Homo-oligomer: A and B are copies of this chain.
Amino acid sequence: MLEDKNQERTSLEKLGEFGLIDHLTQNFQIQNESTLKGIGDDAAILDFGDKKAVVTTDLLIEGIHFDLSYMPLKHLGYKAVMVNLSDVYAMNAQATQITVSIAASNRFPLEALEELYAGILLATKTYGVDLIGGDTTSSQTGLLISITALGEASEEKITYRDGAKPNDLLVVTGDLGGAYLGLQVLEREKEVFKVNPNNQPDLEPYSYIVERQLKPEARKDMVKLLNDLNVKPTAMIDISDGLSSEILHLCKNSKVGCNLFEEKIPLDPTVISACEEFKLDSTTVALNGGEDYELLFTIDQSDFDRIKGNPNLTVIGHMTDIADGAHLISRANTKIPLTAQGWNSFDPPK
């Protein structure tokens, strides 16, 4: 489970910066017509024609955003791309290109970065995005990944956070809380491993939630589904910091309030059983857990017939007048103000 210390090691100094980039990116092929020029010049060249370009960027830092004692590097590479593509899909756009910059200390041999890039390569192939550039440097401590993702959309498709109106329905894709609980399982196994390194953890009962943590998928399929259903959300955001935080973003940007119904929050059965095991409240986990990378959006009520009954989409509430505030309506029918208790990298470590 922890890093294999007997792996082959090729030091990065041997290759140098340019050799390293060439080596790590040799298997990446251009997949988008809009990529006129990828890696290999001062900058990449893109052609979005009459489409609009979408740009987003995220930084992932060892010890803050990930723990390599249970996060395999290939999964990390994959997840780092997903985190960024999720933001592109949250604009109702198609992801088309990424740049990837990494900084690695001398603890990381070439083979480790190859694993990381194998995950990045898988993500680019699965999602049809092109790697078009990046920077590779050494760091004094740990591993750091900075990704910028680009996408394209026609102007009428682009969905901002500020278009929700009172009475719009609040809809979420997939289910929530799994990624956070997967992290709890992995943290627990790490502690067990420290005490007894020969213990082989049985993660099978937790495979769904562990996969939600280690190998999340950005919801490209949901952008396609909405397009197929001919539904254009009035506002949309991706769920990276927890449902509560994202609802408050939509409310603030759209200048509306919200009623969220506790009983409607979609939870996988594994999430419910893991919550019991860990003595956690499943609603709290869904509201504040984060890293689910589902899409949260609002639609006009007249679009309800187009989405109802779809197993991927759950109506969890409706928007209200801004004066009404943002509330959770509990199973006991009490009204609790929503607060953002989502994950914050500047909070002191717990």
The residues of A with any CB-CB pair to B shorter than 8 Å are 12-13, 15-17, 20, 36-37, 40-50, 52-59, 61-65, 86-88, 90-91, 93, 97, 99, 101-103, 132-135, 137-142, 144, 146, 148-151, 153, 155, 158, 160-162, 236-238, 253, 344-348
Contacts and interface: CB of A to CB of B under 8 A. Distances in A.
A44 B91 CA distance: 9
Contacts of A346: 12-13, 15-17, 20, 137-138
Contacts of A142: 140
B56 A46 contact: no
Contact of A43 (B55, B59, B61): B55
Contact of A137 (B50, B53, B61, B93): B61
Contacts of A62: 140
B55 A135 contact: no
A12 B346 CA distance: 6
B59 A53 contact: no
B43 A101 contact: no
B56 A42 contact: yes
Contact of A253 (B17, B40, B132): B40
A77 B101 CA distance: 19
Given A43-B90, A43-B151, A61 B132 contact: no
B345 A59 contact: no
Contact of A55 (B140, B144, B150, B153): B150
Given A46-B52, A99-B148, 5 more contacts: A37-B160, A41-B160, A44-B56, A62-B140, A140-B141
Contacts of A140: 61-64, 141-142
A55 B46 contact: yes
A273 B341 CA distance: 60
